[in-house]
Every structure is written in structure tokens, then in C-alpha cells.
Amino acid sequence: MPTLSTPQSQAGVMSFYDAPSKGPQMNARLVLVGIAIFSVAILILDYVSAHP
């Protein structure tokens, strides 16, 4: 008969996400600024292409 496993505790989940990783670290502010610049660029290109 299979054994029942308990869900991971909240502290265990937090320690998983707080664990250091070897991947590249990205600043959240840099990501948001990049998204904003990309969005504005798309809007400008859309406006320019609609009004030749």
C-alpha cells in the first residue's frame, strides 16, 4: 500500500526559493525598465507604420 506524504511546509518552500543559484542574477527594476522600453518602442513603431 502506498504511503501518504505530507505537503511541504511553508518554511521549506521559502528556503527553496531563497536558496542561492548559480544562474545569472537579474535585478527586478532592470527587468521592469526593459519591459517598459520595449512596450514604448512597439507603440512607436505601430504608430509610425499606421501613419506613413
Does 15 reside within a domain?
no
Q: Is residue 12 part of a domain?
A: no
Which residues span the domain enclosing 31? Answer: 25-52
Any domain includes 11:
no
What pLDDT score was predicted for residue 31?
A: 93
Query: What distance in Å separates the CA atoms of residue 37 and residue 8, rounded to the nearest whole number?
Result: 39
| Residue 6 to residues 9, 11, 14, Cα–Cα distance (Å) | 9, 14, 17
Burial 29-48 (b: 16+ CB within 10 A, else e): eeeeeeeeeeeeeeeeeeee
Instruction: Examine residue 8 and state whether it is found in any structural domain, yes or no.
Output: no
Per residue in 8-39, pLDDT (tens digit) is 555 555 555 566 677 778 888 999 999 999 99
Task: Quote the distance between the C-alpha of residue 33 and its chain's center.
Answer: 13
Residue 16: inside a domain, yes or no? no
Sign of the torsion formed by the C-alpha atoms of 23, 24, 27 and 32: negative
Number of structural domains (the chain) is 1
Question: Is the pTM here over 0.85, yes or no?
Answer: no
